[in-house]
Structure 1
């Protein structure tokens, strides 16, 4: 683990540069956000927390995708908070999520997978404090980008963004669980933009100078944080413009021609981009 602010530590998994955040109060009470990914990594996280004399008081899942709802018995039997919307979404798709977890990171305890505690009042647009047993000074901002019931954590000048504002991944829209377009929201682009606005407002309101994405490098400094918002808005604008154009007819040509984003150099990211470009075009044409 490495410290990024007073009382805020980050551990990065080997898979997908996935970030786990640990927020520690003065008395050693710790909030563990999105622990993962492999069982060895999660157990190692628990050992590192114990070695520092801290105790896990609560967990927090930023959203209901499988790699954000993992846990280990070594972290303790504590409430693991998520929004009610996220919990409902996971319940409706839990077997697919578990199969993905078992394939990518085998060995997790099925009984602990996605065993989440609903936050009492967390509608879309909420900006509410986390109550004990979470450490003091933790707030969550709830939105509808990327996945149902997504939230971000704001604490000690740090924004823990979940799967947004990454330097490695472009904004990934909610196109339905497992790509099931019939269950996608009506306006995933608009939802994403509203989420960016809500998070940017929280950055200003709570004087955020450090941003931890779910995947990728930590942004340190206000200019670096602002640059993440600028990059994501530019991508969304280019994506929307590209969706309004007819496809070129040549596989892969739409990526560099219409959406110039360095993050698309990664093959997996480019594939996700192509899928959501096709999704938006289908929405526009009604097919």
Structure 2
């Protein structure tokens, strides 16, 4: 029986989260995260999930929406996940057709997709007209087994704080915006308003503000490292960045080192992170902390029919 594609219903959240976890465990997408994305994402993103159902069982999902943080108009995303045990039955094709239709209805002229670095996944994308872009590496650090290097020295006047200690997160927003302007990638993500930033990042339920670490001097956030957790054993680094005028001083290493040390003390074990394959400084930093590669994805792009 061919899979049926339809919009996600609230009762589907546990099944979709299970599909996402099975397809990409290194992404740390939980039920709590998915529920929040469905109700708490910025309105301009137009986030929506389509599910593929076969004989009453959810076998795949497509996360869709607009890349609202880019100044380039008309960019959308269609990220497909099919349970590894249910591939080859047409769910991926049906989801992609429906996802592209939804993006076109939202006014998108191009669709970006994150595609696992394996022949079956990349072949699927390329047969459907998607062009390969940049590669991202996913890395893992076992906090129970790893021995972190010594904490780096800080420049004069710089203090490390938990994000929870900031009287106001606006300086963190400014640092994030500045650091993101030259982050490697096909799409420049530097056009988010403070209100949407608070919604998309500061208020997300898996953000741990005690583990999220900032380097501050005279009230200005110079560097930061967002820390996400599943509330149990897993930790994931979000964006780690340094303002462009303060790079080369070890600040990114300092905020990551402190966050990882506190994560281990809090009982978390599996620390994930990801980097663009061309971001040699961050890959070198992470490998110096003990991270090792566990997976990779490619960014693919297709121009949608007018």
TM-score with structure 1 length normalisation?
Answer: 0.27
Larger Rg: 2
The structure showing larger relative contact order (alpha-carbon pairs under 8 Å, at least 6 residues apart) is 2
Structure with the higher fraction of residues in helix conformation: 1
TM-score with structure 2 length normalisation?
Answer: 0.26
Structure with the higher fraction of residues in strand conformation: 2
